[in-house]
Copies of this chain bind each other. A is one copy, B any other.
Amino acid sequence: MSYPKFKKSVAQAKADLYRETLARHPKTVRVKKEATAVRNLERIFAAALKVANEKGFAAMTLRDLSTAAGLSMGALYAYFSGKEELLAMLQEQHRSVTRRILEESLVQVQNPLERLRTAVRTHLYLSEAMQPWFFFAYMEARHLSADERKKSMESELTTEKLLADLMTDAVAAGALAPRDCRMAACLTKAMLQDWYLKRWKHAGRRITVDQYADAVLAAIENYRDPGEG
């Protein structure tokens, strides 16, 4: 799937995702009309990502958020019980989207090397389409409660394990040179993360997501373990 197509499919899925979040938090979102609740949650989340990605979540005041979202302080509290819960909601939404899209992208692909390539490209496409979410999740992970932070670290390790497993399969199929797949997956993850963490740099160089994906895949596919060069 090309990136423009991918982006549209993600946009389409957004409404569903907001309804899911509402269903997951029936006690904190006190607004009953679904259409209203979805519309305002969208505005609140978008505003929170915008402000927090500029100055950090801790430095973002609820007055900032109120202004950016176009809702009063009082109204905000109809959607979350406090700043900490807002943070947890954002992180949870991000994790579930990532998990689902990555899984869906692989169901149709059989060839081991193609499965690896699909996972890498899909991850980059997704982090391109939802860059503010990925940036936020990465930078604010350490401000989470112990419980939420654990989930965040598990999510990181799960993604990396997926890459390592796909690589192991490709090696077994003879499509890739043998290697320490855990280390190779670890280096891959670092390159994937750089795409959304240093967007200003890549944008300034007019690098497209497809060019970056090609480069990362070239690095992975040519990789040899130390001493095996």
Chain A, 185-215, contact with B by CB distance < 8 Å: what is the 0/1 string?
A: 0110111011000101110010100000011
Q: Which of B59, B194, B224 contacts A58 (CB 8 A)?
A: B59
* Contact residues on A (Cβ < 8 Å of other chain), bracket: 35 or more
Cβ-closest chain B residue relative to A226: B214
Query: Are A194 and B189 CB-contacts (below 8 A) given A221-B229, A229-B222?
Result: yes
Copies in the assembly, this chain: 2
Q: What are 25 contact pairs spanning A and B, CB under 8 A?
A: A55-B58, A55-B142, A56-B58, A139-B139, A156-B201, A180-B215, A183-B215, A187-B191, A187-B215, A187-B219, A190-B190, A190-B191, A190-B193, A190-B194, A191-B191, A193-B194, A214-B226, A214-B227, A215-B225, A218-B223, A218-B224, A218-B225, A219-B219, A219-B223, A222-B223
Interface residues in chain A, defined as those with a beta carbon under 8 Å from any beta carbon in chain B? 53-56, 58-59, 139, 142-143, 153, 156-157, 180, 182-183, 186-187, 189-191, 193-194, 198, 200-202, 205, 207, 214-219, 221-229
